[in-house]
Amino acid sequence: MTDIRSSVIIGRPAAEVFEFVADMANNPKWQKGQVSCVWTSPPPRAVGSTYDQEARFAGRTIRTSFEVTEFEPGRRIRIVSTSGPMPIDVTRTVAPVGDDRCEVAAHVQGEPPGVMRLFGGMVDKMVKRNVDADYTRLKARLEQ
C-alpha cells in the first residue's frame, strides 16, 4: 500500500488556494501527466460529486473516475477512485498560515496494480517524488 504525504507553503490566502485545488478541472494546470479532468456531476462541489480524469503515464493513457467522499468548504476535500487501474484515495487540506499564506497538504494512498506491488518501496519513492514536484508546481503557479 502506497501511503505518502506532501505539503507546501503558498503565499496566497487560504480561501483562494482551496478554491483552486478543490476544482479538479485545474489539475492539468499543475499536475504532470494530467491531460484532462472533467466534472461529471453538476455544481456545487459536495460529497458525492464526481469527475473523470485522463492522464498519461509511461506512454499510456490512464482513465480514472473519482468521487468526492469528504468536503469541508475552504479546508478539506477527499476524493476516492471509483474506476481505473489503481485504487487511489487523495485528501487535500488547506490551512491558513497568517493572512496571505497557507499550507497545502496532500495525503495520497493507493494500491499499486499487479506486478508493481513487488516494487512497493520503489513505487512509493517515485510517487512521493512526483507528488512533491506537483505541489512545487502548484506553489509556482499560484504565486506568479
Q: Which domains are seen in the chain, by residue range?
A: 2-143 (3.30.530.20)
pTM beyond cutoff 0.75: yes
Buried b (16+ CB within 10 A) or exposed e, 35-65: eebeeeeeeebeeebebbbebeeeeeeeebe
In this prediction, residue 120 has a pLDDT band, given cuts at 50, 70 and 90, of low
Q: What is the pLDDT of residue 113?
A: 62
Give the mean pLDDT of 32-47: 95
96 beta partners: 102
pLDDT in tens, 51-100: 999 999 778 899 999 999 999 999 999 999 999 888 999 999 999 998 89
Answer yes or no: are the C-beta atoms of 20 and 35 closer than 8 Å.
no
pLDDT in tens, 3-12: 999 999 999 9
pLDDT in tens, 7-30: 999 999 999 999 999 999 999 999
Cell numbers describing residue 115? 506486478
Q: What is the pLDDT of residue 116?
A: 54
Give the mean pLDDT of 39-62: 93
Cell numbers describing residue 36? 484532462
